[in-house]
Amino acid sequence: MEAVLSAFREVSTGSLGHLTDFGYAGGLDALTRPQKAIGLAFTVHIPSLDATNVHYAINLVEPGEVLVIDTSGERNRACWGGVVAHAALRAKVAGVVVDGPITDWVEVTASGPPVWCRGLSAITGRRLGLEGAVLTPVQVGGAVVQPGDIVFADTDGVFFVPPDGAAELAQALRAREAREPELKRRLDAGEKMADISGAWKAVEEARAHG
């Protein structure tokens, strides 16, 4: 699996976004730019108010894993802040994906693992110990995430990739990105974008038959 993760570290989510929408977490932004995190998903599900299982998860997460937090649609209360970010750093968490806001921007960006979230909030969750679960299927940004899925996150966004077929997908992305220098060389040589991509021919043919 490490070879697969290494392959994803060499490519970008934007390249995958040319090929599929599947597994894309919509509405989440990188907290800082540039940033990147690749690792296996350690999933956390919390109800909108009770953030107890976020703390619980940090005791269990393995180094190099990415915390993926389903907040049950909470868009006002932050379940992630400066102290918990520092705890995650000590646990060697590779990254954090929160389907909701976070707080303590200065502390989180100064010393915590990279974060993808839905902005900032000054009000927070509570440690009530009532509900929630870890290592369970969750939904983040409209994508279903299984524990152990590959989290492929960078400045442009977040994808969740099932392990089956991930190696082949990473190689396809490598091949796609390897073609880009030649395309830029052709543009520098004076060729036009629509000619290289085939868009000119496709539009002209559509007009001819329209």
Whole-number pLDDT of residue 112: 87
Stated pTM of the model: 0.92
Q: Which pLDDT band holds residue 199 (cuts at 50, 70, 90)?
A: confident
pLDDT 10s digits, 106-155:
999 998 899 999 999 999 988 877 789 999 999 999 999 999 999 999 99
The answer to whether residues 129 and 52 touch, using CB atoms and an 8 Å cutoff, is: yes
Whole-number pLDDT of residue 86: 97
Rounded to 5 degrees, φ, ψ at 146 are: -100, 145
Domains of the chain listed by start with CATH number:
2-172 (3.50.30.40), 179-208 (no CATH)
